Amino acid sequence: EAQVTQNPRYLITVTGKKLTVTCSQNMNHEYMSWYRQDPGLGLRQIYYSMNVEVTDKGDVPEGYKVSRKEKRNFPLILESPSPNQTSLYFCASRSDRAPYEQYFGPGTRLTVT
Amino acid sequence: DAKTTQPNSMESNEEEPVHLPCNHSTISGTDYIHWYRQLPSQGPEYVIHGLTSNVNNRMASLAIAEDRKSSTLILHRATLRDAAVYYCIRFYNNNDMRFGAGTRLTVKP
């Protein structure tokens, strides 16, 4: 079954404690991205990656890091989380060929206290 | 900036057709029009896409205006399970898919 998986699904942490949210896809997609979703602000793109070792900033990259060492994995790293990073995070992947249908993970709800 | 305009919310009765409009007046010739929906407590899911011609699939139909400045997602018979936020996206550079606020569809029994 084609899918994007994220872990953990829920996470409560404290300010400044480094964390990583993992993302994996089994569709051999070249393109992967991370979004955050906040009430009233919709989905905003954090980072994206067009292929292995190629990453670029989205609309809201401050406070986040990513890496793409393997095609299937695209972890999101918060080196020093702050309360304003409390949000619902989605990982997504798609092929770089038409029709570019994007698949989303189930989401990770992060709370930073 | 999603560069698409959708109504914030719409209501429909169960079993009736729903027409969800989207305005993308600054669309360029190579931009695809994608529709996604997000059910409560889930990630967005792909619904349909088009370029110039009207499109049908098992979930919905997409009607694209001749000048491509607007499109309409058509759910032929709304069910309670179709209650979701629907996003119309102008996919304009193959590297970036930007979501606006979408249309929250409420389906009444």
Chain B residues with CB under 8 Å of A3 CB are none
Question: Mean pLDDT throughout A21-47?
Answer: 93
Assess contact for A22 and A77: CB atoms under 8 A: no
Cis peptide before B109 (omega within 30 of 0): no
Q: Which of B76, B81, B73, B77 is nearest to B103 (CA)?
A: B73
Q: How far is B47 from chain A (nearest CA, A)?
A: 9
CA distance B51 to A36: 28
Question: Mean pLDDT throughout A69-74?
Answer: 97
Structure tokens that stand for A22 in this block? 């993992």
Neighbours of B94 (CB within 10 A): 16
Average of per-residue pLDDT values in chain A: 94
Q: Which of A74, A106, A87 is nearest to A11 (CA)?
A: A87
| B48-76 confidence digits (pLDDT tens) | 999 988 999 988 999 999 999 999 999 99
Tell me if residue A42 falls in helix, strand or coil.
Answer: strand
Total number of residues shown for chain B: 109
| A3-31 confidence digits (pLDDT tens) | 999 999 999 999 999 999 999 999 999 99
- Which one has a higher pLDDT value, A64 or A98? A64
Q: Place B2 in a pLDDT band, splitting at 50, 70 and 90.
A: low
Share of chain B above pLDDT 70, in %: 94
Option in A43, A48, A94 nearest B99 (CB): A43
Residue B1 confidence (pLDDT) above 60: no
Chain A residues with CB under 8 Å of B2 CB are 42
| B70-97 confidence digits (pLDDT tens) | 999 999 999 999 999 999 998 765 666 7
CA distance A39 to A61: 18
